[in-house]
Chain A
Amino acid sequence: MTETNDTANLIQEAEYFYQKIFAAPVPRPILEKYIAANRKKMPRPDERIRNLVLKKADIEAVEMAWRFKSPRNVLTKKIHILIYLAETTPENFSLFFNTKNKRFSSFIVLAGHFVRSMGKFLKGKFLLKRYNLV
């Protein structure tokens, strides 16, 4: 794969992942760092990731099921890089840090995520087979 192709793929996956996770277009500085970090940490392009992006797979479902099978899989690593970069961007501060006491509502939010995550996990198990990831 040429470097131009590789860059285009990394841009596409960063845009797709960021949109799915943060419901916003990926900011340019994060995009640039994501590309550089991937080049350093995971220099070999992975067709499986490319396929997931092209097929617009439910990335949260696939990632969760894959993580439970194999915690250090390539998708989890890529999302981890994105989380490191997103977290250290001031615009995302309030996503990761709670600045007001929200005792009651946080229980509801966490309970909701528990149920949602169970659903994602079951869906992910099915998708792992469908995309031949295990």
Chain B
Amino acid sequence: MYDAIIVGTGPSAAAAALELKDRNLLILDVALKAEKDIELKENIFDLRKNDKDQQDYLIGREFESLVNIDSTDLVSVKLKAPYVSHVIKNRSTYYKIKTNNFSPYISFAYGGLANAWGAGAYIYTDYDLKDFPVKNPDLQPFYDKLTRHIGISGKDDDLTPFFGSSKYLQKELDLGNNARDIYRSYERRKRFFKKKGMTLGRSRLTVLTEGKAGRRPCNYENTGYFSCNIPYVYAPTITFNQLKTKPNICLKEGFLVESFAEQKNGVTVTTKELKTGKRVVFKGKKLLLAAGTIGTGQIVLSSFKDTETRLPLLDNPFTVTPFVNLRNIGTKIDRTGYEGVQINMIYEGPRYPHRVQGSISSYISPLRADVFFDFPFAIKGNIACSRYLLPSLTILLLFYPDFPKKNNYIKLEDQNTLYINYTDVEEYGAVEKHIMRSLLRSGFFSAPFLVKYQPPGSSIHYAGTIPMGREDRKYFVDGNCRMNNTANVYIIDGSVFPVLPAKNLTFTIMANAMRAAHKIKKEL
């Protein structure tokens, strides 16, 4: 019998496994992988200019990158490249998913969704945790431990009160042209921005600026949209590739977990071995479910054969606002900036009752064709826009918090079908207009009709299905993430968040998973 069984190899599983690395561990995962594990070592613009074989990783032999041309269920630009698309492959194959007003991104990949993540790693402060039974000091030791393991770059600035101390951080990445213009303008007009409720600062990213444990620092190659194998960006596979060499850790790939059952002194986990179709049962003293919020909810409901209960689903609503940086129209391609988020913004003011968090990036590495028909000109005009306007394009993603609502839930329709409903949605736009007016003074132009309201599900920040806090009820966990009415079943992913602050959640998912594993370790 194993000391503990962990389901999944995503960030939550990685953090728990790291904490339990000296125990006798079994890790179960479907573990889909890219057809080829490519590492693109040159700068993306050099590859685009010179590499005759670029269509292999940009478009794909099966035209994976053209997926949005004939589909109405649009796939995020970050998840459609041929050597990235495995991250959400088979997302509705192992069990059927029916949805109403929700685009679910579910991963069965080795490393989970974080193979393709934006690498934004933010701690939750006590403001963010006000509806949680845990507080920042409970999590801080685990944030610190993870920061040292992962490697996070960032700096102390005006966002420190929102993002926490910069202890253990590596130095920040260099700013690209558009980010530099915004940051400088903010520094010059700080009083004006503060009056408008806006605070700006540098992002905290799991992107190395200094070498770490054999991984090299970022050289601004900007190939992250086309490969999951970027040594300077943390992915849980980095942790698992280290851990699986240990004799006490067994990673079983190709196993779909179907259900669990509590036994005397432990838990049995029923899986389907995907190669043979055979049922295989494993036994452990403790079970840690880290299959991602939706996956874990599905496994829990299946285990109780419950087709009645609706589990609440949280997802950060978000909008995308493009800005044109008037100074950079017609400038040459930006080889100096990082392709991901460079600047964050917190808005706190009368236009929305809670804190809102923004991420600002430039359009550096994605294909020009991905936005080609967003320009309003004839075809040749759109080619000119790709060439002259895109260097000035600055994108603001604005994330809003989410709270449990009656019509936002997941439910089992039958043992094989998961139903996701997300119809309680708010109207957004007031904050975007306010930010537009404020940034115009800095030379960044946008207009309300350009704001895109993203369909629910597309933030890929999911939480809340089996929340912590209510000690007495089924489908809740206690403060240590143990499921109520069970002795040895723990939920350690985003499922346990009772609410979802407007902040990237994964670093807190990881810290909380590590905290739970720390408690479990003491019981083993």
Of the residues A21, A80, A89, A109, contact of B388 by C-beta under 8 Å: A109
Question: Which secondary structure dominates where chain B touches chain A?
Answer: helix
State whether the Cβ of A55 lies closer than 8 Å to any Cβ in chain B.
no
Q: Are A80's CB and B330's CB within 8 A?
A: no
Of the residues B55, B330, B367, B378, contact of A102 by C-beta under 8 Å: B330
Q: Are B63's CB and A36's CB within 8 A?
A: yes
Given the complex, which residues of A lie within 8 Å of B379, measured CB to CB? 21, 59-60, 63-64, 79, 83
State whether the Cβ of B50 lies closer than 8 Å to any Cβ in chain A.
yes
Given the complex, which residues of B lie within 8 Å of A42, measured CB to CB? 70
**Given known contacts A40-B62, A116-B378, A83 and B391 CB-to-CB distance under 8 angstroms:** no
Q: Are A83's CB and B369's CB within 8 A?
A: yes
Q: Tally chain A residues at the interface, Cβ within 8 Å.
A: 49
Closest to A33 in B: B55
Given the complex, which residues of B lie within 8 Å of A85, measured CB to CB? 55, 59
State whether the Cβ of A113 lies closer than 8 Å to any Cβ in chain B.
yes
**Given known contacts A80-B373, A87-B368, A93-B49, A114 and B381 CB-to-CB distance under 8 angstroms:** yes
Which residues of chain A from 76 to 134 have a CB within 8 Å of any chain B CB? 76-77, 79-81, 83-85, 87-90, 93, 95-107, 109-110, 113-114, 116-117, 120-121
State whether the Cβ of A28 lies closer than 8 Å to any Cβ in chain B.
no
Q: Are A110's CB and B388's CB within 8 A?
A: yes
What CA separation (Å) do A64 and B70 show in the bound complex? 19
Q: Are B69's CB and A41's CB within 8 A?
A: yes
What CA separation (Å) do A21 and B384 show in the bound complex? 12
Closest to A71 in B: B373
Q: Are A87's CB and B388's CB within 8 A?
A: no
A-B contact pairs, 26 of them (CB 8 A): A37-B63, A41-B70, A59-B379, A63-B379, A64-B377, A64-B378, A77-B70, A84-B66, A88-B55, A93-B48, A93-B49, A95-B387, A97-B45, A97-B49, A98-B333, A101-B331, A102-B330, A102-B388, A104-B330, A107-B329, A109-B388, A110-B329, A114-B377, A116-B378, A116-B380, A117-B377
Chain A residues within CB distance 8 Å of chain B: 21, 33, 36-37, 40-42, 59-61, 63-64, 67, 71-72, 76-77, 79-81, 83-85, 87-90, 93, 95-107, 109-110, 113-114, 116-117, 120-121
